[in-house]
Amino acid sequence: MDLSFEPLDGEAPEELPADSSLSLPESIEPPVEEVEEAAPLVENLPHHVEEREHRAFNLTGERRVERSRLPTLELIDARVAEYLAIELSHVLNVETHVEARADGMEPWGELLDKLESPGCYNLVEFETLDGYGMVSIEMKLLFGLLERLFGGAGLSGGADAAPPKRERFSAIELRLIRRLVRIFGRAVEEAWRPVVPVAMRHLRVDTSPSNIAFTSPSAWVLASTFNIDLGSQSGSMSFALPFELLADYRELFASGRYQRSERDDHDWQQTLKQRASGLPVELIGELGRTNITLRQLASLKAGDVLRLDQSASEPVCVSIEGRPKYRAQISVSHGNLAVELTSLHEAS
């Protein structure tokens, strides 16, 4: 290698021998074997340093929030179930039980993979929260309710019957879907009002959940399911909305407080009275009783007279749902046999 240097202060550069060469000493070459031996540094840690479990973090997504840390949501869901049971009992004229089940929180893309298709999915708008959500109705519940509203007893085959599949809903089915979503929306609005006032508006319905794009696949959504038992028929309705819509109210949901105002209690009492006043009850006026033998029973024919254990002038017992409640006199009203209540029944 031939090297040349600029002269300093007039000095002539020193000539290197022609056969001289510049080479790296062997001592600075990388000691491959020594590096390979020193690679497993974890094994050389001191004994007092314990090995810890590795945890994965998604630094690009939203912060995950465990639903168990938001106890107020459980109280709200329980209240939604109560209101929904009252509304459905009134509409269907059948005793309805509703149980809330918290599904937790997960990204919308993961929840989307678990939903049935085709199904019944409704895009709703939360006007006060400035965002959108989804209400889904299980198909077997939808068609079971449709049968009941037209005088049937639900899907043939009971709870295990497979519901029909729909790529598009008929006009009658769409009317029922909108009505169910409105009923569900009223229950949600009433239950959420003491914590966060919400106003839910139905926008459209689709059979494919992927067409209800109310948020991004990576966004965390809050999901709740309500199991509805109608006796011979059962099913569920679900509710999902992006958690980011509730970020400003996170402290309220973490407090575990759910305080209903006096107005809420009054409205609840009025609603309960209104719904209960329309329930049918069985009333029986008992004219009397008697005992006969099997021989007498076998010989009964038209025209025979059975003597009861009660005088014609004595008041009869009037029972409500099998429980004696009033004493009454036999009467006639508009040509029909009737009873005129005279007093409360005294338990013997």
Calpha distance 234→93 (Å, rounded): 15
List, for residues 237-296, the tens digit of each pLDDT value: 999 999 888 888 878 777 766 666 555 556 667 767 776 777 788 888 888 888 989 998
Give the full edge-to-edge strand order of the sheet including 283-286.
Answer: 283-286, 316-320, 323-333, 336-344
Write down the pLDDT at residue 268. Answer: 62
Ordered domains of the chain (ranges, CATH): 67-277 (3.40.1550.10), 283-344 (2.30.330.10)
Cα angle, residue 99 at apex, residues 253 and 245 outer, rounded to 5°: 30
Confidence of residue 35 (pLDDT cuts 50, 70, 90): very low
List, for residues 174-223, the tens digit of each pLDDT value: 998 999 999 999 999 988 888 888 899 999 999 999 999 899 999 999 89
pLDDT at 31 over 70: no
Write down the pLDDT at residue 124. Answer: 95
Distances (CA, A) of 167 to 19, 238, 311: 90, 20, 68
Write down the pLDDT at residue 3. Answer: 53
Write down the pLDDT at residue 36. Answer: 47
Closest by alpha carbon to 285, among 334, 337, 335? 337
The overall average pLDDT reported for the chain is 77
List, for residues 47-105, the tens digit of each pLDDT value: 544 554 554 544 444 445 555 567 788 888 889 999 999 888 888 777 889 999 877 78
Distances (CA, A) of 269 to 85, 98, 273: 15, 19, 6
Write down the pLDDT at residue 58. Answer: 47
Q: What percent of the chain has pLDDT over 70?
A: 71
